[in-house]
Amino acid sequence: MYDEKYGEEYFEEGLYSIRDNIGIPKNEKQKAVIAVINFDFEIQNGGLAQYLINEENEYIEKIVDYLRMLGAEEQATLLETFMTENDIEFKSVETSSIEESIESEKSKPFDKFNDAYMDIYIPDGEYEPYLNFLVINYIQDNIEDF
């Protein structure tokens, strides 16, 4: 089953293929994988502020736990520390306009987090983002849930 559904082609297509393949999560392990993929996608595309604006509370409230479930301890610690030090709640930021979104992003030093995340995103000497391997390994180790 792994070879067919979660093989190396997912490294070529990206983690989003896994997210699309799972669809609506049926259990906590699937939720963890989808939450981590969504988190990474938002950080890569617009940073932490965008993640907090776009993601659902259900995933935001548990993202640190989900990152740890998949073995992404460094990312979890970075996020948890940043949110705590900057007094940011683990909940979706409500905005009614693009201007409001921009102001929300400017209100905290999100660039500091985004830069630190990118520093650990692809370890020195590696080609693939480490998180990709963690997601694939987690699925392989829990394949009966996928």
The CATH code of the domain that includes 109 is 1.20.1420
89: left (phi over 0), alpha (psi -120 to 50) or beta: beta
Which two structure tokens, joined as six digits, stand for 96?
A: 């009614």
Residue 98: predicted pLDDT: 60
**Mean pLDDT per 10-residue segment, the chain (146 residues):** 45 65 90 94 91 91 97 96 93 73 74 91 68 89 93
Domain count for the chain, please give it: 1
Residue 144: predicted pLDDT: 93
pTM of the model: 0.81
Instruction: Answer whether 40's CB lies under 8 Å from 131's CB.
Output: yes
Full domain range(s) for residue 49: 2-145
